[in-house]
Amino acid sequence: MNKKSIQISKKEAILYIGLILLFMATLAVTDHNDRYYEQTIGKVMKVQSIGQKESIDQYRNKEMITTQKLFLTITNGIYKGQQLVISNEYSLSGAFDAKYNTGDRVFLKIDTSTGLDNAAITGLKRDKYIALAAWIFIILIILIGKRKGFYSVLSLVLNVVLFSFALDLYLKGFNLLFLCGVIVIVFTIFSLLLVSGNNEKTYAAVVSTVIGTFLSLLIAFIVLFLTREKGMRYEEMEYLTHPPYEIFMAEILVGSLGAIMDIAITMSSSVFELYHSNPALTAKELITSGTKIGSDIMGTMINVLFFAYVSGAIPMILIYLKNGLEVAYTLNMNLSLELVRALTGSIGIVLTIPIALYVTVFYIGRRRAVN
């Protein structure tokens, strides 16, 4: 083993030890941070199951209701250290309620005028479980992806921060579609530079992603303008105070970005790998091979995008059908927006394949000219 490999292994060991320490510290903090919450928190010390009963709603749906008695100790606020007992009912579906177990921490609503007599549970304290899932994701992606995995996590964190900043600007009066257009460009540059490095392959992917994403938005504009938005069911956005059209277009722009970016970097990496393997390949031969690669990955990416959008509507579709509404009406109400998003994103994927191919070949041609 040479000196360089030893140095790399030491760096990896330091990184993994640091991750493990951060993981343990995060779990410890989330398990002992009750004092920082304004809401009253209670820890479930003991659970007693009282019994079950069958419930039938107005639509003749049957549900089994279980009653449990929870023995709680309050862990923060003015009632810290005091104990109370709360009766909790939960259903098998858990749609509007939850089952609690010993060791769970729950948020409590306490009326100061009556004290603990009328205390009620408002929800489960989940920060520890969210932190656990997040750290499992981070550790796995770094173990598998090594340095690129670390940069992928870093780009994700930066994108979340940037997106939060953009939402804050939106609340201050900035145009949402304009903000999403800006963050799409910044997302693309940051993500691809961090993951793929500062090279021509990345430049080709960035250019292809931006062109493909905005072409998708342009096509959506044209189609909705020509059809006058007929068949678009914005009912799910009726709670918004702003016109839903602008928000829907912003969803299309941001939603199609991920799939288009994936296609762009895949095409760019594949064609550059072909060139590195055989620099004698002509531009025509690279385009022919790249076209075959694009046709192979196009179908799977379209299916991924379609199922990602449509799957979110499954619960509402089942609720509509369960309550006797017609299939056509149910699909029209719940899938009109999702299908438009999926179709627009799919068009973007198809267009990005030749765009990425020709942009990549252009960069390869520039490299040949310089050499």
| Percent of residues, the chain, with pLDDT higher than 70 | 91
| Percent of residues, the chain, with pLDDT higher than 90 | 8
Which of residues 112 and 200 earns the better pLDDT score?
Answer: 200
CA distance 353 to 63: 50
Cβ atoms 101, 71 nearer than 8 A: no
**φ and ψ of 14, to 5 deg:** -65, -40
For residue 296 the two structure tokens come to 């192979």
Place of tokens 């000196």: 3
In tens, the pLDDT along 153-178 reads 888 888 888 888 888 888 887 888 88
CA distance 111 to 103: 24
pLDDT of 1 above 50: no
Residue 139 contacts by C-beta under 8 Å, 6 or more apart in sequence?
A: 19, 23
CA distance 66 to 51: 6
For residue 64 the two structure tokens come to 């089994």
299 class by beta-carbon count within 10 Å (0-12 exposed, 13-18 middle, 19+ buried): exposed
Please give the mean pLDDT across all residues of the chain. 82
In tens, the pLDDT along 208-237 reads 999 999 988 888 888 777 777 665 666 555
C-alpha distance from residue 348 to each of 159, 255, 259, 290, 352 (Å):
21, 11, 9, 17, 6
Place of tokens 């023995």: 71
- pLDDT band at residue 6 using 50, 70 and 90 as cut-offs: very low
- Tell me the sheet residues that pair with 66: 52, 90
